[in-house]
């Protein structure tokens, strides 16, 4: 099959949600539809439960699961669908942000009773920054929840979305009768506990049709007609270009656990979601149909067993065809590398692949050559952009507790940072190292891994910091002045970029006011 045909088939997306909204359940139902799994319960949640913060066996077990479910591919209606798993635990949010750089679209799951939650907001903002097309799935309709219109208001107000409902609930909780599929003008009646079989859909072209009254009762039918009228007047009509450019977000309603409304979502998704999109690099935009292969690493998963310190680098193919046993150019190292066992992921199975196409994710066994963000090409000197680090939220000084093992500590820290476990800053006034993370869990993971994989002992000392901001200025004299005056609060990140360590929101504001020529950024790519 030609590159263009393969490309046209690919749909690579991520499901994002606040923990417990139903991401794992929805993923599983999608895989059931695709025939990639046969029974419910096959997809394990990659949630690291709260009690597990000091239980490293649990973390390791979860990490094992998360590698198995990092990418789940299945075929549906002539499309090859790649679902990229995003960690649910908020301490791993940074991992999720990076995974979102490798998708072409996203499905946002929202709990009907809880509405928009904190983590939903953060993740949707990351998608919005990249104009990623999003479809919203409002889940748990079998429970009492917020009113449909109120939920749409919340999506608009809290997430800044322009929503376009493509299905609409008829009742909710105990009174749930079904959903009306506005996209295909079909009525789908609610039958709990479907297991992947086709739902019974009744075509109702015109909602004035009496068939609707027969199916759901007069009251529910009238209510639906009233609501559809509001929808038709208040919300924009579906527009493919607006959706694909991230300006319009279709909304579906359903109940993942009951496999209800999921098929409508999937059928619409395969029709409207974008095939692999062009991607920016340091020199030009790479189009997926270009013949020369390019791709980038967005995730690195290390084996925690010290006897096998191999890692899997997850690479997204951006253009051309990736082939096994072929030499590719590792741009940052300026080296040629070839891979004898590139791995593809089909639901629970891993297998060696000979060829991979744009949109595909492959796992490359790595002995330390890769960092997150690395680019591989057929020879061209370019680097994919848009894989930033975000300001950490928690900071601690690193203390070397075994001076005989300084080298091991440095090497371990270096490698863990390459994997994106946390960020390392070196203070400019005293050269002390500071680790910054999104959540407290990583500090324990780092300590444990340094000891078990590198034989180094690391402790921490508290440091009270609010944010790390990357800084730059066009005005060289002002930057020099800033460097001198703020020496005690400056550090370098791993790439040698200048970072201002703000002690509080107030302190940051004060410094910003005192140095108007300096620009402050909350992410490393400016």
Compute the distance between CA of residue 436 and CA of residue 123 in angstroms, rounded to an integer: 20
169 touches ligand G4P (CB under 6 A): no
User: In whole angstroms, how close is the CB of 257 to ligand G4P at the nearest point?
Assistant: 4
Compute the distance between CA of residue 433 and CA of residue 436 in angstroms, rounded to an integer: 10
User: In whole angstroms, how close is the CB of 120 to ligand G4P at the nearest point?
Assistant: 10
User: In whole angstroms, how close is the CB of 23 to ligand G4P at the nearest point?
Assistant: 3
The structure tokens 């001076």 sit at 403
Compute the distance between CA of residue 90 and CA of residue 18 in angstroms, rounded to an integer: 9
Compute the distance between CA of residue 264 and CA of residue 242 in angstroms, rounded to an integer: 20
Strands 349-352, 294-302: pairing is unpaired
Q: Which is nearer to ligand G4P, 22 or 246 (CB)?
A: 22
Compute the distance between CA of residue 89 and CA of residue 522 in angstroms, rounded to an integer: 21
- Binding-residue pattern over the window 120 to 159 for ligand G4P, x denoting contact by CB under 6 A: -------------------xx-xx----------------
Compute the distance between CA of residue 335 and CA of residue 369 in angstroms, rounded to an integer: 10
- SS3 for 30-44 is HHHHCCCCCCCCCCC
23 closest CA partner among 98, 119, 101, 131: 119
Structure tokens of 195? 């297991």
423 touches ligand G4P (CB under 6 A): no
415 touches ligand G4P (CB under 6 A): no
69 touches ligand G4P (CB under 6 A): no
User: In whole angstroms, how close is the CB of 415 to ligand G4P at the nearest point?
Assistant: 30
Structure tokens of 525? 């790519």
Q: Which is nearer to ligand G4P, 30 or 286 (CB)?
A: 30
Strands 249-253, 163-165: pairing is parallel
User: In whole angstroms, how close is the CB of 263 to ligand G4P at the nearest point?
Assistant: 14
Instruction: Write the CB contacts of 210 (distance below 8 Å, at least 6 apart in sequence).
Output: none
47 touches ligand G4P (CB under 6 A): yes
User: In whole angstroms, how close is the CB of 45 to ligand G4P at the nearest point?
Assistant: 5
Q: Which is nearer to ligand G4P, 21 or 59 (CB)?
A: 21
User: In whole angstroms, how close is the CB of 200 to ligand G4P at the nearest point?
Assistant: 18
119 touches ligand G4P (CB under 6 A): no
Compute the distance between CA of residue 419 and CA of residue 401 in angstroms, rounded to an integer: 23
Q: Which stretch binds ligand G4P (CB under 6 A): 21-29, 99-107, 320-328, 336-344?
A: 21-29
User: In whole angstroms, how close is the CB of 309 to ligand G4P at the nearest point?
Assistant: 31
Bridge partners of residue 130, in order along the sequence: none
Bridge partners of residue 123, in order along the sequence: none
29 touches ligand G4P (CB under 6 A): no
Bridge partners of residue 296, in order along the sequence: 316, 375
Q: Which stretch binds ligand G4P (CB under 6 A): 20-28, 198-206, 354-362, 507-515?
A: 20-28
Compute the distance between CA of residue 316 and CA of residue 465 in angstroms, rounded to an integer: 35
Q: Which stretch binds ligand G4P (CB under 6 A): 13-21, 145-153, 191-199, 288-296?
A: 13-21
Residues in contact with ligand G4P, counted by CB under 6 A, come to a total of 19
Q: How many CB atoms lie within 10 A of CB 130?
A: 15
- Choose which of 20, 184, 267, 289 interacts with ligand G4P (CB under 6 A): 20
Q: Which stretch binds ligand G4P (CB under 6 A): 19-27, 351-359, 392-400, 487-495?
A: 19-27
- Choose which of 88, 178, 320, 388 interacts with ligand G4P (CB under 6 A): 88
User: In whole angstroms, how close is the CB of 296 to ligand G4P at the nearest point?
Assistant: 27
Q: Which is nearer to ligand G4P, 90 or 105 (CB)?
A: 90
Compute the distance between CA of residue 135 and CA of residue 15 in angstroms, rounded to an integer: 10
- Binding-residue pattern over the window 249 to 288 for ligand G4P, x denoting contact by CB under 6 A: ------xxxx------------------------------
149 closest CA partner among 220, 226, 223, 231: 231
Task: Answer for the pair 291, 320: CB distance below 8 angstroms, yes or no.
Answer: yes
Q: Which is nearer to ligand G4P, 258 or 319 (CB)?
A: 258
- Choose which of 7, 14, 16, 25 interacts with ligand G4P (CB under 6 A): 25
486 touches ligand G4P (CB under 6 A): no
Q: Which long-range contacts (CB under 8 A, 24 or more apart) does 471-477 make?
A: 471/498, 471/499, 471/500, 471/518, 471/519, 471/520, 471/521, 472/498, 472/518, 472/519, 472/521, 472/526, 473/517, 473/518, 473/519, 474/517, 475/517
42 touches ligand G4P (CB under 6 A): no
Task: Answer for the pair 364, 14: CB distance below 8 angstroms, yes or no.
Answer: no
In the complex, the residues that contact ligand G4P under the rule CB under 6 A are 17, 19-25, 45, 47, 88, 139-140, 142-143, 255-258
């Amino acid at each position: 099959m030609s590159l263009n045909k393969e490309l046209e088939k690919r749909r690579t997306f991520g499901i994002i949600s606040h923990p417990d909204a139903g991401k794992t359940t929805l993923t599983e139902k999608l895989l059931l539809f695709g025939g990639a799994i046969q029974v419910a319960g096959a997809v394990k949640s990659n949630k690291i439960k709260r009690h597990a913060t000091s239980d490293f066996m649990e973390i390791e077990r979860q990490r094992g699961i998360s590698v198995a479910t990092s990418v789940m591919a299945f075929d549906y209606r002539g499309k090859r669908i790649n679902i990229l798993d995003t960690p649910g635990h908020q301490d791993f949010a940074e991992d999720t942000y990076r995974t979102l750089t490798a998708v072409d679209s996203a499905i946002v799951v929202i709990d009907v009773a809880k509405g928009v939650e904190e983590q939903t907001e953060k993740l949707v903002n990351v998608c919005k920054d990249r104009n990623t097309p999003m479809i919203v799935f409002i889940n748990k309709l079998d429970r009492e929840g917020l009113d449909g219109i109120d939920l749409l208001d919340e999506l608009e107000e809290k997430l800044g979305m322009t929503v376009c409902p493509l299905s609409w609930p008829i009742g909710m909780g105990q009174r749930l009768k079904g959903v009306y599929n506005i996209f295909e003008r079909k009525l789908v009646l609610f039958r709990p506990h479907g297991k992947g079989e086709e739902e019974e859909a009744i075509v109702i072209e015109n909602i004035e049709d009496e068939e609707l009254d027969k199916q759901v009762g007069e009251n529910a039918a009238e209510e639906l007609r009233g609501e559809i009228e509001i929808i038709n007047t208040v919300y924009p009509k579906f527009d493919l270009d607006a959706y694909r450019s991230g300006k319009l977000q279709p909304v579906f309603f359903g109940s993942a656990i009951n496999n209800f409304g999921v098929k409508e979502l999937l059928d619409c998704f395969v029709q409207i979601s974008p095939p692999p999109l062009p991607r920016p690099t340091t020199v030009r935009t790479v189009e997926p149909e270009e013949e020369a292969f390019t791709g980038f690493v967005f995730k690195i998963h290390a084996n925690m067993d010290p006897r096998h310190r191999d890692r899997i680098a997850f690479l997204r193919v951006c253009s051309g065809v990736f082939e096994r046993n072929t030499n590719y150019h590792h741009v940052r190292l300026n080296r040629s590398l070839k891979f004898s066992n590139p791995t593809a992921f089909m639901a629970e199975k891993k297998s060696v692949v000979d060829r991979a196409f744009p949109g595909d994710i492959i796992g490359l066994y790595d002995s330390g050559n890769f960092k997150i963000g690395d680019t591989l090409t057929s020879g061209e000197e370019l680097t994919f952009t848009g894989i930033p680090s975000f300001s950490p939220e928690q900071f601690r000084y690193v203390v070397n507790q075994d001076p005989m093992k300084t080298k091991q500590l440095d090497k371990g820290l270096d490698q863990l940072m390459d994997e994106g476990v946390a960020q390392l800053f070196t203070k400019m006034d005293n050269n002390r190292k500071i680790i910054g993370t999104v959540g407290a869990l990583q500090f324990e993971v780092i300590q444990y891994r340094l000891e078990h994989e590198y034989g180094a002992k690391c402790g921490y000392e508290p440091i009270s910091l609010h944010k790390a901001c990357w800084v730059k200025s066009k005005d060289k004299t002002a930057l020099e002045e800033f460097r001198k005056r703020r020496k005690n609060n400056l550090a370098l990140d791993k790439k040698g970029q200048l970072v201002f360590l703000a002690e509080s929101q107030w302190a940051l504001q004060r410094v910003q006011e005192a140095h108007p020529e300096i620009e402050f950024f909350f992410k490393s790519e400016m």
